[in-house]
Structure formats: C-alpha cells, structure tokens
A and B are shown apart, each in its own frame.
Chain A
Amino acid sequence: MSGFESRLQMSKFLNYTLPNGVNLHIYPTDKFKTIVYSIFLHQNLKKDLAAKTALLPFVLERGSKKWPTTRELVITLEGLYGADIITEILKRGERQIVQFILEIVNPVYVQENGNLEKKGLEVLKEILTNPVVEGGGFKESYVNREKEILANLVKGLINDKVSYAVERCIQEMCREEDYGVYRLGRLEDIEHMDSKNLYSYYQDLLSTAPIDIFVLGKVDPEQTLALMEETFNFPKDKSFDMEPTLVYKEVKEPRYVEERLDVNQGKLTLGYRTNIMVKDEDYYPLLICNGILGAFPHSKLFQNVREKASLAYYASSRLERDKGIMLIASGIEMDNYEKALEIIQKQVESVKAGEISSDELESTRVGFINQVKVTEDSPYQIIGRYLGGIISGRQETQEEIIEQINRVKVEDVVRAAEKIQLDTIYFLRNKE
C-alpha cells in the first residue's frame, strides 16, 4: 500500500507502448474525483478529407454491436453513475485529431461493487472498434442522419458571431493552405460520403493512424497497463508519419476582407503570421509578446481599446501556437472601424518598438506562470498540455516551462515581435 501511495504522489506521465503500437500515457494521482481515459487519433489535415474524419465520431457514437443504438449506449453509461463519453474534433496546426473521452467517477465515492472502470472501458472499446456494420459499411441510416447533423454544425458556425469572425479570418488568411479548412470540414464534401467508403476509410485510419491513449486518476499503473493491453488489442499496421505544419510565411501586402450580415455589432479581426514555431527559440518570447499585447486585462489592447477609448467590450489577442499565427479580435460599433483599427495597430507597433513597461512585462510573466500552475488542477488540462508536447515535439515539465518564461527579457520580446507580420484584416459588418 505504501509503495502505491508514493507512486501516486509522482504526478507525472508514465509512458508505454502497447503491443499493437498504440502509445499509452498513465498519470496516477488521487487529486480528482474521477478517472479520465482519453484517446487521440491523429490525422493529417487535408481540405477534402476533413469532413470525412470529422463525421467518424458522430457515426461511431450511434451504437456498437453490443449496444446497437445511442439509447442503449446512453442507458448503459447512465447506469455507471453518469459515466460520460464525449468525442471531439480538434485542429492543431495542420493536424486533425479525433478525441474520445471516457470520464467515470472514482469508485471509492460510490461504493460500487462491480468494476466501474472495466465496464466503462468496455463501452469505450465498443464505440471505437466494434461499430454497427451492414452490407460492408456503417449502418446507412446512421450515416445519413449524422451527415445532416454534421452539415448543420458546419453551417451553424455563423450562429455565434464572435467565433464566426475569428474563424472566417483564419479561413481567408490560410485559404491556400490546408489550415484554411474548418475543423469539421467543408459542406460540399459531406454530400459525397456514403456508409461504405466511410467505413473503409475508418478501418484504414484506425489501422494506420498514430494513436495516443491517456489514463489519469487514482489508478495503479501496472494494473492499468494490463487492463489497457487487454482492452485495446485491435490489430494495427505501422503508423503513417505526421506531416509538418507550414508556419514560416512572408507577407507581401496585407489583405482586406469585408463581409456583410444582418448584425448589430461589427467584428474586427486581424490575422498575423508570427513566423515562429513552438520548437523555435523565440517561442517563449512570442508567448510573452502576445501576453503584453492582448491576452490579459492588463494588456495593451484591453487597456487602450476598451478602458481608454471605450470602443469595445472585448479586445484581445491569441496565438494559434501550432500554426504560428496570432489573431486580434474586437467587437465594435460599425462607425468606429477606422478608430479601432488605428489603436490596435498602434499597440502592435509599440510592442515592436520595445515600448514595454516593467509592469507590463512582469504582470504578463506572472500571469502565464499562474496559468501553467493551475493546469495541474484539471485532468483535461494536464492531458492537454502533454498532448501539446507530443504535437509540437517540445515536451516540457511545469518547472521547465516556468524557467523559460522567467528568462524572457524585453529585447527577446522585441525580437519576436519583429517577426510578426499582418496578413489579413477581416471586418464583419451590417448590411447596407
């Protein structure tokens, strides 16, 4: 018992490879009320394939051979104290990732006699590897219904104007790159899919895609390893390689894109190329640069666009770190377009010119250190950070990250800022 307890204190990932080549990462901790299992299936992001990949979890969640309807699956999970299976489609750089999550209550809290982990994992395994098949394809009625659902989600991007404006800016900016495709794919590709070609695509993908599985919670590593070997024993071929993401790009002339919809508020989005990859030496200076500019309420954008000029409720910047782009977004009165644009660009220029007070630098530094530390308080963030390391090829511990944040000086920030180039100005406004 004491040996087990001391391992629980380690709070780091133990890495294994299952016999079929799947990577397994176990993080034993007794901090949380739940145990989280998370499977990531990596695919290269391609414009014409994105919708196909995105449709997969929708169809898989409809049922398995053992529980052939969504309803039966849900009833089974509800009986396991509301165990939850969630699927997500992520876009990280030019990589599309299908995620399957199972979160169950730590059995300690519910005096469960049966094996809650094992039962939950069986559902997860069924969804992943044992779909309902008919006539050599997925069940056709499921595929047809889920195609509608996916198409509605793609069209539904427009419903939330705040995220719509940011996504549209990215699409315009990266229209010649695979990154320009929405994470759920293109509408026109959805029509062409059928249950047979989708099924064979899935079989291929499951067999050749790099797969990472995470287990986080109060678990015994050896027992878990054995359980995972037994559960995820599906056959796999050699995994394909992940292609690198295009990050470095010189901009000749910024492009202006305007879109008109029936809206009350104008949305101004500026897309920048940072020309810095996560693996580059200038990554942490870039992180700090983005922080000073717009990641916090003390940042230049919030202070100047909102607090001083009273032009907006939100004005912020964020990095898409795996693509090396930075986005500035603000919601403004239509007539204030010129004024807001000028103030925003002035803030970027002032960072490039090194007009950074020690208060701005230090507040940004401790702000990020705070964010790094609180990552440890959420199972999903712990997994997310490690996954980020796998994607970028820069795997670092909390201490290593903090050390590098601490090392950044004003001149480093300026050097990073000088690489940043405005690529696209996107303005969503009302109809004439």
Chain B
Amino acid sequence: MAVICERFLENDTIKEKVYVATLDPGLEVFVFPKKGYNKQYASFATQFGSIDNTFYVEGKENLLEVPDGVAHFLEHKLFEGEQGNVFDEFARFGASANAYTNFTMTNYLFSSTDHFEKCFDLLLNFVQDPYFTKESVEKEKGIIAQEIRMYEDNPSWRLFFNLLGSLFAVHPVRKDIAGTVESIMDIDEEVLYKCYRTFYHPSNMALFVVGDLEPERVIHQVIDNLEKKNYQPMGEIKRIYPEEPKNVREKCVREKMEVSQPLLNLGFKDPNVGFTGRELFKKELASELLLEMLFGKASETYTRLYEEGLINDQFGSTFVGEKDYGYSIMGGETPDPDKLYQELLSSIKQYTQGGFREEDFERQRRKMLGEFLRSFNSLEFIANNFLYYHFRDNNLFDFVSLLKEITAEDIQVRLRELFDEKYHSCSIINNNGR
C-alpha cells in the first residue's frame, strides 16, 4: 500500500496546521491536531449529493437517472450493517455518530472522547461496507417519509426550496435534498448499490480528523484499513447536469402556511459561473463581503427597513457558489412581503448606480477575518468546512490570504454582475389566514 504523497498546510494568522496524505487508490486524508481538546471528531465524506441524479454507473457506458432523494436515502441505509445498526456500536464507546447529505456531498461522522481508534475503525468500515436488503429499504421509507413531512411543515425550508425552484429552470439544485414522499417510493436496493459503486470509491472521497491526536498514527490506521480492501483504480465519474439557462424559471412563487407573519426570500442567480479552485473561493468571499456591506446590520438599507418595521433582526443574506451554479439570497420575516420585495430591489438599484463606501469595505473585511478566526474554536466547523472546500479544489486556510487580496474593484465587479435585475426571483410564504 502506497502513500502517494504526504504534506502539511499551515496558516500563520490562525496558527494552525493540518497534515495531508494522499493514499492509494486516491483517498485524501487530513489530520488537524487540536491540543488540549477532549473531543475527537472524524468525518468520512463522498462527493455524492442530491444534485448527482444522472450519471454513468461506475464510470462506464450505461447512463442512469436515479429517483430524487437517493443520496440521502443511501446515507440512512449505510448505518445498517448485516450485524445491525452501527449507531449502537458507536454508543458502546460513548461516541455519537451522525451523517448529513447536502447538494454536493454526503458526510459520515462521529465524535468521541475515549476509544478514538476503535471508533475510527468503525467509521472506516461501515462506510466501506454497504448492506442493503429489500426489507430494510422498505422499512426506511416510513422513517424518511416522516423526515420529509417534518420539513414540509417548516416555513423557512419551504421558502428556501421554493426560491431555488423558481431561480433554476432545470438544474437538480432546484429539488429538495431528501426528494419527495412519492419519489423515495421508487428507490430499491439495486439502485442504492449502483450509486454506492459509483460514488463511494476512495478516489471520490476524503477523510478529515481533528482532535488532540498524532497525525502519523491516524494516517497509518487508514493505510492498514485500506490495505485489506483491495481496491481497483476507478476512472473519472461522469455526472450529467442539464444545461441551465441564465434566465430564471419564475419571477415570484407564493405559498400559504401556518405562520405568524409572512416570509420573503429574494434571490439572484449568478450569471458568471464555471470557476473552480481559488477563483471560485475568491468569488464567494467577494460576494459575502458585498452582501454584508449592502444588507448587514451596519448598512443604511438594514437600518431604514428595521425602523420602518419591514424587517426584524432575523433578516440576513448569503451567497452560495458552486462550479456550475451560484446564487445570492436575502430576506426574512416581514409584515408586508410585497413592499419589502420592492424596497430591496430599489435599494439594490441605488447601490449599483451609486457604489459603496471604501470604509465599509475595510471594516467588513476586518469583521470577516475575526469571525473566521472565532470559528476555529469548533472542531465541527473545521472538519465540515475543510472537506467542503477541499471538494472544490480549495484549501480553507486560503480564506485569510484571499480576503487580503480582494480589492474594492473586485467588489464593484461583483456588485454589477451579481445583482442583475433580469436574473432574480422571489419566494413568499403568506399566512394561511387563520
């Protein structure tokens, strides 16, 4: 078993270091020592998310379109082995295991304080050992159906997915991660195995471990584990995404729910996509900076809308940038969604015409650095974000240097391209009139 490459990344500002090893057949392993922490946190992730619904099975000739929600369904089922539920095995060591699926990845994790090595073996083994039967797949449908029903009653969740559904015409990002109660009924053990064989090869995965641990030891444990599994190299995974037009599908989508006051999300579809690596990360940071300057608590817009009673302190904004798609969102609770919608659009128009103040830019940059530093108190933040950025060919530590690199001109460019009124949608949840 060969170690293809071993190296470390460090950052002088954060004063932290992460060890990285690339192991045959292509698994990336990260170990982030955190002195003095009682907790160890490990995650094993694959680049398989809800948007990966059309692909060539095992990279070969047969194109397969899978039911919506299959990546999330697989995540649930992987916890069940031939010997029973793997949750119980973690529990015997006092550890707690969990997993989540998002648009682009599935992540399995545990946190422990004692018996790290045993828990780590459990994680490595259960993720590499699928066991799906007809009965267990059928049983899971009831559980996941209730998970979906729970989200159906969650106004913020509905607001968000209604927005994605109207911003995007065909790209699978417009669909709910867990699928629908109807779509999951079409899932069977066969399709789960096909997905597993395609996406759970080590070359499509990464491991991240953080805690008061010795990197060498952890990496050796992975080497020993992989050696027994006899992996064959696998070619590139071919995922097929439909060609998404620049235009949005709908201008505005409305739904009625049991809420105390209406909710509004305004979204802009990013027309400038196709980036990876540092460029993508920089675009993301510039967009986040811009949103804070325009709509953060210190902005004129926020102050005015708060005073007018149109927003409360839950009002917020965010940017998401992937290689093939990107969007910004702003919004929150409001007594008058239609008015807030118009106010936000006109405020954006003012900014795009009048620009922003240099001092706001410098202050937001300082604030973002402070918040980033603060996040390194949390092992969960470290692991989840390192993996997220790694899968985008980024290194989380680059946050600091990129933040310094960004110029006022970069922000101006983003201001003009991200807020093109042609490419916006809005999502509104109204009270169902109790």
Query: Which residues of A are interface residues toward B (Cβ below 8 A)?
Result: 31-34, 69-71, 74-75, 78-83, 103-105, 109-110, 145, 148-149, 152-153, 155-162, 261-265, 296-298, 306-307, 310-314, 331-333, 359, 362-363, 366-367, 369-370, 373-374, 376-379
Contact = CB atoms under 8 A, between A and B. Distances in A.
A312 B147 CA distance: 8
B93 interface: yes
Contact of B303 (A69, A83, A162, A296): A69
Interface string B36-60: 1111000000000000000000000
Contact of A298 (B87, B150, B377): B87
B62 interface: no
B307 interface: yes
Task: Rank and list the top 9 A-B pairs by shortest CB-CB distance, nearest first.
Answer: A81-B370, A366-B94, A310-B142, A82-B367, A82-B370, A155-B260, A313-B147, A370-B94, A265-B149
Interface in B88-115: 88, 91-97, 111-114
B228 interface: no
Nearest to B308: A145
B146 interface: yes
Contacts of B96: 296-297, 367, 370
5 contacts: A71-B297, A160-B154, A297-B91, A370-B112, A374-B39
Given A34-B374, A156-B260, A313 B367 contact: no
Given A32-B377, A82-B368, A313-B150, A377 B143 contact: no
B153 A152 contact: no
A310 B152 contact: no
Contact of A264 (B35, B153, B366, B376): B153
A33 B34 CA distance: 12
A152 B260 CA distance: 7
Specify which of B36, B259, B370 lies most central, judged by the most chain A CB atoms within 10 Å of its CB: B370
B7 to A, nearest CB: 24
Contacts of B114: 366, 370
Nearest to B98: A297
A33 B377 contact: yes
A156 B333 contact: yes
B85 interface: yes
Interface in B269-313: 296-298, 303, 306-307, 309, 312-313
B379 interface: yes
Given A265-B150, A370-B96, A378-B377, 11 more contacts: A33-B373, A82-B366, A153-B312, A156-B333, A158-B258, A161-B258, A298-B88, A310-B139, A310-B140, A311-B142, A374-B39
B15 interface: yes
Contact of A78 (B146, B149, B298): B298
Contact of A74 (B87, B150, B297, B309): B297
Interface of B: 13-15, 35-39, 85, 87-88, 91-97, 111-114, 139-144, 146-147, 149-150, 152-156, 257-261, 296-298, 303, 306-307, 309, 312-313, 333, 363-364, 366-371, 373-374, 376-379, 432, 434
B91 A367 contact: yes
A34 B376 CA distance: 9
Given A69-B303, A71-B298, A313-B143, A376 B370 contact: no
A333 B181 CA distance: 12
Contact of A148 (B152, B309, B378): B309
Contacts of B143: 306, 310, 312-313
A160 B157 CA distance: 10
Question: Which applies to chain B's interface (DSSP): helix, strand, loop or mixed?
Answer: mixed
A93 B147 CA distance: 31
Nearest to B87: A297
Nearest to A36: B377
A69 B303 CA distance: 9
A377 B379 CA distance: 9
B367 A331 contact: no
A155 B261 contact: yes
Nearest to B261: A152
Contacts of B156: 159
Nearest to B79: A297
Contacts of B14: 33, 109
Contacts of A80: 370
A344 B285 CA distance: 48
B259 A78 contact: no
Given A110-B373, A161-B153, A298-B88, A145 B309 contact: yes
A333 B144 CA distance: 12
B313 A149 contact: yes
Nearest to A72: B298
Nearest to B363: A78
Given A103-B374, A109-B373, A145-B309, A159 B260 contact: yes
A333 B366 CA distance: 49
Contacts of B15: 109
Specify which of A104, A155, A312, A362 lies most central, judged by the most chain B CB atoms within 10 Å of its CB: A312
Contacts of B363: 75, 78-79
Nearest to A141: B307
B90 to A, nearest CB: 8
A296 B143 CA distance: 17
B382 to A, nearest CB: 11
A363 B147 contact: no
Given A110-B373, A366-B92, A74 B298 contact: yes
A78 B374 contact: no
A333 B148 CA distance: 11
Contact of A70 (B95, B260, B303): B303
A87 B307 CA distance: 20
A31 B36 CA distance: 7
A157 B260 CA distance: 8
A182 B369 CA distance: 37
A104 B307 CA distance: 28
Contacts of A160: 154
A104 B15 CA distance: 17
A269 B298 CA distance: 41
Contacts of B432: 262
Given A310-B139, A310-B142, A363-B92, A263 B370 contact: no
Contacts of B152: 264-265
A331 B298 CA distance: 40
B260 A158 contact: yes
A75 B298 contact: yes
Contacts of B434: 262
Given A32-B377, A33-B377, A103-B374, A373 B38 contact: yes
A158 B259 contact: yes
B92 A362 contact: yes
A311 B39 CA distance: 33
Contact of B374 (A33, A262, A367, A378): A33
B94 A33 contact: no
Given A145-B307, A370-B112, A159 B91 contact: no
A369 B111 contact: no
A79 B362 CA distance: 9
B62 to A, nearest CB: 32
Contacts of A296: 91, 96
Given A155-B261, A310-B139, A331-B150, A377 B38 contact: yes
Contacts of A374: 38-39, 111, 113
